[in-house]
Amino acid sequence: MTQGHNLLPRIGVLALQGDFEAHLRMLAELGAEGKAIRLPEQLEEINGIIIPGGESTTIGKLMIEYNLLEPLRQKIRDGIPVWGTCAGLILLAQETDNALAGQPLLASLDIKVRRNAFGSQRESFETDLVVPELGEAPFHTFFIRGPLVEKVGPGVEVLATLDDGTIVAVRKGTRLGTAFHPEVSGDTRFHQYFLRIVESVSN
């Protein structure tokens, strides 16, 4: 359902497991309508979708259990804007070097990711990222057992890297991926950026 020009976009947040509530809170803070997605028919009611952090293997299995995997793949193929954060980035990737057997991927973004690239929970960290698309002020990021992007395909734009060149944010058209958790930063700029992508398609 396409929203009219005067309506804010309705953003679905995959709500099978993980930190979906933080995304819903941040969308509400921006005045957007967020909707928890658990069933295939709910995909018809949204203009964009966020796939949150959590445990990628569990989310993948639940997508199959709730009959969401193929409908979600189709919506993305049809051009609905999608944003994967942390585990969501893994699920969007075409390829991951150390997926567990049977790990279903949406395979919607031409990148290769490495899961749990920064070590265990104890080795999670936070850092300031320079993200030119968001303006001059650095974006304070939280990496929680985050993946990294090992390789990007043709046309994939690198939005941000760590100081050592590790790729941690990418975009191709209406598909966005971040290896960190913008929803816990208190900084709404990445969510605003995604809303602009959605609005560019909806209007």
Known catalytic residues are 86, 181, 183
The answer to whether residues 122 and 141 touch, using CB atoms and an 8 Å cutoff, is no
Listed in sequence order, the residues at least 6 apart from 169 whose beta carbon sits closer than 8 Å to its beta carbon are 129, 131, 158, 159, 160, 176, 177, 178, 179, 180
β partners of residue 85? 178
From the number of C-beta atoms within 10 Å of its C-beta (0-12, 13-18, 19+), residue 14 rates as buried
Neighbours of 116 (CB within 10 A): 15
Query: In 3D, which of 100, 97, 105 has the Cα closest to residue 177?
Result: 105
Listed in sequence order, the residues at least 6 apart from 163 whose beta carbon sits closer than 8 Å to its beta carbon are none
Return the residue matching tokens 């099978």: 16
Question: What is the C-alpha to C-alpha distance for residues 37 and 90, in angstroms, rounded to an integer?
Answer: 19
